[in-house]
Structure 1
Amino acid sequence: MLQLFIQPFYYIAVILIALVYHRQLLQERKLFHVRLQSSITQTIRAILGGIVIGAMVSIVSLFLGAHLTLGSLICIWAATLFLALFRIRYLCFAYAAGLLGVLQFGLNMASGWQPAGWLGTVTEALRALDMPALLVLAAVLHIGEALMVRMQGVSMASPLLFEGKRGKLVGGYQLQHFWPIPLLILVPVTGGAELPWTALISGGNGYMLVALPIMLGFGEVTQSMLPGKKVQISAKRLLLYGTGLLVLSLLAAWWSPLMVVAALAAFIGHEFLVWYSGFEEQNRSPLFVHPEHGLKVLGVIPDSPAEELGIEAGETLYKVNGVLVHSPEQLHRALRMNPAFCKLEVRNHQGESKFIQRAIYEGEHHQLGVLMAPDNHEAWALRLRPLTLFHIVSLKLFARRRKDQLDVEAPLALPPAPAGEQRSVEM
């Protein structure tokens, strides 16, 4: 266990994850002028989730057996960081394992080629990689990732405003999760401790535990589903992907010609999930658009009056203090009609009305903590572009100021209404 605390790779993973969530916080402030979640809390949640996955996979690895060296660890992290230069979602063990497997296959095909110098050292390290064990680890890790996405996915969802087709603003959610995984892998060594069982893949006379800190990443954007539903679908698909890769990797461990197939499946299978999710989103109608009557709720600020009232994303504010609302301005005026109390009629996801009421206190959010779906008058919107490692490290945002829109922050608290407007309206 001490090895985990003296290796820099785990700390690199934690720092990168902290930057991801800090960038997300800056993005939320730019779009909504409010902090929705704490980047520190999200980072801690990611660390704890990573410990859970690491413990599960470490237990499985006790029955696996893997020939891993310091060179193997360096290869894994070098491949991970290299891929992250192109897409931040490549900051994932499956992509690194897939790339290393393909490289090893190519080098083994050119078995007579042995360069000198540092290139020769890298080539030797790649050829020595225990690819069956790495691919099995990738599969088991993604099964654990599926469980963690199911458990933590909704809590890390972040609302977005971005330009859709024909430049119209669309509301949606970004589901972006990364976990630093502290693994302890059983490695065959000379003079190590004997096991009362036989390792599944690699055999040896003795074994020892070796620390293997890695990263897992998951990213989705949805405009057509509630975050909870998207999380359920994504978790199921990740579970199927991990299970399929596990079967293929175990077969490749016993029949080596399948090794390159398993490596390609690790990379291409993950990319297929990303592509299919995007294809699915493009062919579904946006969810967060205002209906003919009422205002669609995009999100709710934590610890706000709206959260206390039980208002949820995807519901519709229909009437406020008896007034049918069609715009944020009408909502604001309706709330000012009775500055001490509000009565709401909210249409839930099934279209049924629920009636809720609450006292209003000075200094509370001007919309009770409700984030509305866009009405095409917002000043800022995101350009959906692939994120790279450079964008994360530099905290670069893809927020664009929209033309002909004033960048005026909405008031964050309800001002006192004039005396003539302080009256109660029954619903």
Structure 2
Amino acid sequence: MNIALYVFRSISQAIITPPYIFILLILVFILYTRNKKTVIMQKMIIGEKMNSSLELTISQVVLGIFAGTIASLILSYLGIVFTSQTTVTLLFMISIILMIFGSRFICFSYSAGILALISVAIQFIEGVYHIPIPQLDFLKVDVVMIISLVAVLHIIEGLLVIIDGDRGTIPVFTNKNNRIIGGFALKRYWVMPVALMFIMNNPNISYSAQVPIQNWWPIIKFSSHDLIRDAFIGFFAFYGMIGYNAITFTRTKKQKVISSGIGISVYGLILLLFAQIGRINLAAEFIVAIFTPLAHEIMLKIQTYIEVNGKPKYVSSDNGLMVLEVAPASPAFEMGIKSGDLLIEVNDKKIVNEQDMLDVLNTVSNFIWFKIKTVHGKLEQVDYNKMNRNKRLGIVFVPRIIPKDSVVMKLDRSSFQDTLEKAKKDKKDKK
């Protein structure tokens, strides 16, 4: 069978045909609204926007569609197939309920683990106590299939994080050991259409195509292989939202998304292999169900441990002020100043603290020059001859003390919305 053809056809239908296109437009609008808030925060903190709302949204949608297609191909060739749409629906519903307890619980690792445990519990009661519960049959799922689905989605999520996770970052500050350290808050979502295979013997399933099964399929012989050997398979597309949320004070933006992306993909790969244990018996399914959210929590704890115990990367010192972020197309950008550089002197004046910087910027006419120590440890002098008082330098530096005249956000575990409201209030108070 030409699996790829049916996958591409299902994904294309999810993009251009009703009602899918309306769902896509709603999700795009939600992303665009979130990105507008991000751009506002960037402009308040940096002085210039790093990205446009449209640019951020387009990358989320285009890369999400591409990633969804790849995920659908992997799922289909592996032979991950379901007997009912109810399984996927339950997965989403549980994720939404769990989101009440924290945004990170929207991850399918938790909802899949809970759904698998419920299924195992029902089967255990029916098998051991011989008490049939037909009313709960819709809660009985193929644990191997659903955990494998979650595993593949995490592998693809890791790749998305590596490729696009460092867009739309917000400079943030915190206090550690009585020192102000700088870092970045990263928050990205991607719209991902996924085409799943369903056995066509269920009349309630809507589908885009009937695909005859051939002997070589599936690649991985799952527990339901005998059931689907002579069956017809249909594709059903749905939209998922993949999210990434992190804060780093010990790495650059790119280093953070690469390490996080690798961690997420490795977790997905391990989970995919571990899920196959569920084919043994009900006890093995129970182990897989417990392992799924537990391993995800361990992965998050490891990343948190690295951040908490790692050496801060962006810290100013007696030698100068550390550059945290540089706005594109700004005077600082044209001078070649980069994130991680240390500002040592400005116009031949030693930079002891942030007030020294502000004093020079308030009196400069049109020429400004810096002595900097680059991120590679090299001393350089850079200059700019088109400066004026109305032009922003385009640098976010890590203060040794927080200047009263600056819009500086301190972010620990507060949400982006809280930070945005704080920025708006600070700006309003200045007027």
* TM-score computed with the length of structure 1 as normaliser: 0.80
Deviation per residue, 1:352-401 (Å, 9 max, x gap): 213323332457643x20001133324654453365xxxx8xx4448669
User: Which among 133, 137, 153 is matched to residue 124 of structure 1?
Assistant: 137
**Matched letter for residue 144 of structure 1:** I
Whether the 8 Å contact between 1:99 and 1:263 is mirrored in structure 2 is yes
Query: Quick one: distance in 2 between partners of 1:256 and 1:114?
Result: 17
**1:40 and 2:83 are equivalent in the alignment:** no
| Closer, same or farther: CA 281–407 of 1 in aligned 2, 3 Å | farther
User: Where do 1:156-171 residues align within 5 Å?
Assistant: 156-164=168-176, 169-171=180-182
**Matched letter for residue 177 of structure 1:** R
Query: Quick one: distance in 2 between partners of 1:407 and 1:163?
Result: 24
Query: Quick one: distance in 1 between partners of 2:118 and 2:36?
Result: 35
Name the counterpart of 1:412: none
| Closer, same or farther: CA 29–336 of 1 in aligned 2, 3 Å | closer
Q: What is the CA distance between 1:183 and its match in structure 2?
A: 0.5
| Closer, same or farther: CA 322–253 of 1 in aligned 2, 3 Å | farther
Name the counterpart of 1:187: 198
Q: What is the CA distance between 1:113 and its match in structure 2?
A: 6.6
| Closer, same or farther: CA 343–26 of 1 in aligned 2, 3 Å | closer
Name the counterpart of 1:247: 273
**1:358 and 2:384 are equivalent in the alignment:** yes
Whether the 8 Å contact between 1:193 and 1:206 is mirrored in structure 2 is yes
Deviation per residue, 1:304-348 (Å, 9 max, x gap): 222233322221112223222223332244346653233222212
Name the counterpart of 1:177: 188
User: Where do 1:198-217 residues align within 5 Å?
Assistant: 198-199=217-218, 200=220, 201=222, 202-203=224-225, 204=228, 205-217=231-243
Whether the 8 Å contact between 2:46 and 2:327 is mirrored in structure 1 is no
Q: Which one is further off, 103-112 or 51-60?
A: 103-112
Name the counterpart of 2:75: 61
Name the counterpart of 1:377: 402
| Closer, same or farther: CA 33–355 of 1 in aligned 2, 3 Å | closer
| Closer, same or farther: CA 350–103 of 1 in aligned 2, 3 Å | same
Q: What is the CA distance between 1:173 and its match in structure 2?
A: 0.8
**Matched letter for residue 217 of structure 2:** T
In structure 2, the residue corresponding to 1:285 is in which secondary structure? Answer: coil
Name the counterpart of 1:153: 165
User: Which among 96, 101, 105 is matched to residue 90 of structure 1?
Assistant: 105
User: Where do 1:287-302 residues align within 5 Å?
Assistant: 287-302=313-328
| Closer, same or farther: CA 9–193 of 1 in aligned 2, 3 Å | same
Query: Quick one: distance in 2 between partners of 1:313 and 1:177?
Result: 21
Query: Please, which runs of 5 or more residues in structure 1 have no aligned partner?
Result: 410-427
Query: Quick one: distance in 1 between partners of 2:31 and 2:120?
Result: 32
Whether the 8 Å contact between 2:368 and 2:387 is mirrored in structure 1 is no
Q: How many residues align?
A: 392
Whether the 8 Å contact between 2:361 and 2:389 is mirrored in structure 1 is no
| Closer, same or farther: CA 274–9 of 1 in aligned 2, 3 Å | farther
Query: Quick one: distance in 1 between partners of 2:145 and 2:334?
Result: 49
Once superposed, what is the RMSD of the aligned Cα atoms? 3.2
In structure 2, the residue corresponding to 1:360 is in which secondary structure? Answer: coil
Name the counterpart of 2:250: 224
Whether the 8 Å contact between 2:172 and 2:411 is mirrored in structure 1 is no
User: Which among 130, 133, 141 is matched to residue 153 of structure 2?
Assistant: 141
**1:114 and 2:133 are equivalent in the alignment:** yes
| Closer, same or farther: CA 137–385 of 1 in aligned 2, 3 Å | same
**1:277 and 2:283 are equivalent in the alignment:** no
Whether the 8 Å contact between 2:409 and 2:419 is mirrored in structure 1 is no
**Matched letter for residue 197 of structure 2:** L
| Closer, same or farther: CA 342–386 of 1 in aligned 2, 3 Å | closer
Q: Which one is further off, 44-53 or 30-39?
A: 30-39
| Closer, same or farther: CA 104–55 of 1 in aligned 2, 3 Å | same
In structure 1, the residue corresponding to 2:251 is in which secondary structure? Answer: coil
Name the counterpart of 1:52: 66
Whether the 8 Å contact between 2:41 and 2:170 is mirrored in structure 1 is no
**Matched letter for residue 104 of structure 1:** S
Deviation per residue, 1:31-85 (Å, 9 max, x gap): 5565443333222221122112111111112221311533223212111211222
User: Sequence identity of aligned pairs in percent?
Assistant: 21
| Closer, same or farther: CA 269–377 of 1 in aligned 2, 3 Å | same
Query: Quick one: distance in 2 between partners of 1:156 and 1:259?
Result: 40
Query: Quick one: distance in 1 between partners of 2:282 and 2:125?
Result: 16
Q: Which one is further off, 226-235 or 19-28?
A: 19-28
User: Which among 287, 293, 296 is matched to residue 267 of structure 1?
Assistant: 293
- Kindly indicate which of the two structures has a greater share of residues assigned to helix: 2
In structure 2, the residue corresponding to 1:85 is in which secondary structure? Answer: helix
Deviation per residue, 1:251-279 (Å, 9 max, x gap): 32455533232232221222222222222
Q: What is the CA distance between 1:19 and its match in structure 2?
A: 4.7
* TM-score computed with the length of structure 2 as normaliser: 0.80
Q: What is the CA distance between 1:233 and its match in structure 2?
A: 1.7
User: Where do 1:227-238 residues align within 5 Å?
Assistant: 227-238=253-264
In structure 2, the residue corresponding to 1:385 is in which secondary structure? Answer: coil
Q: What is the CA distance between 1:223 and its match in structure 2?
A: 1.2
| Closer, same or farther: CA 131–38 of 1 in aligned 2, 3 Å | farther
Whether the 8 Å contact between 1:97 and 1:134 is mirrored in structure 2 is yes
